[in-house]
Amino acid sequence: MKFLYSKEAKNEQIRLEGEAFLHLKARRAKVGERIDVRNLTDGQNHIYEIVNLDKRGAELNLIFSHDVEARNSDLALAWAVVDPKTVEKTLPSLNEMGVAKIVFFYGEFSQKNFKLDFLRLERILISSCEQCGRNDLMKFEIYKSLDELVKFYPNVALVDFEGENLDGYAGKEILAIGPEGGFSQSEREAVAKKYGLRAKNILRSQTAILGIAAKILI
């Protein structure tokens, strides 16, 4: 753990309960010990001292705060909705690489019964940030269709089996990754700009989005 999360971090006194407190217990933290706590919104790291431990939580006093260097990109990727379990397993890796935002949309081949629990996704991101040290939360948006997405983001480019090589990607477009069935013919016709993957055996959307993020960011 690089730090613990609390939305109250920066206040003079805070109390940690739940998972954060369980982590302190597992570490056998003691009164007088100092720990890093962040709220993932103000760009700072807040150092607290444990002043009291009881059966349900820990009370902490703020010692000092300092800025944390921002190391993330401004990369936004559009991702067709797939099985929420797949999204949940993929998010930590995207978070570690520094993806700034994921814009979800329902592609024509997305299963419409798939519903994303954004509160759960946020908890997964918080846990990932605590472990990898990232100091801000990835942002999410969601749209009902590719057409609706294009209305808000006219600079969308599809990542498909055919198209320009991603080596020529200059960051001007938002890359859209389809579901496992790919894009329909009507979706392909709706978006003129396309990039193709050199690895032609990629079928799973999570493999595609991880590969694209890694190629651009790492």
Instruction: Give pLDDT, residue 72.
Output: 72
pLDDT, position 124:
98
Structural domains for the chain: 4-67 (2.40.240.20), 76-217 (3.40.1280.10)
Q: Residue 71 has what pLDDT?
A: 77
- Kindly report, residue by residue over 5-32, the tens digit of the pLDDT: 999 999 999 999 999 999 999 999 999 9
- Is residue 163 within 8 A of residue 195, CB to CB? The reply is yes
Question: Which residues does residue 98 pair with via DSSP β-bridges, in sequence order?
Answer: none
Global confidence as pTM: 0.92
* Nearest CA-CA partner of 150 in 191, 189, 99, 100: 191
17 phi and psi angles, rounded to 5 deg: -135, -175
Per DSSP (E only), the strands in 68-155 are: 76-80, 101-105, 139-143
Q: What percent of the chain has pLDDT over 90?
A: 86
What confidence tier does 73 reach under pLDDT thresholds 50, 70, 90? confident
200: amino acid identity, one letter = K
What is the mean predicted confidence (pLDDT) over 98-116? 96
β-partners of residue 77 are 102, 175
The string of pLDDT tens digits covering residues 36-63 is 999 999 999 999 999 999 999 999 999 9
Cα separation values, 103 from 54, 90, 213, Å: 42, 14, 14
Cβ contact 16:38 at 8 Å: no
pLDDT (tens digit per residue) in 162-194: 888 888 898 999 999 999 889 999 999 999 999
pLDDT confidence bin for 69, thresholds 50/70/90: confident
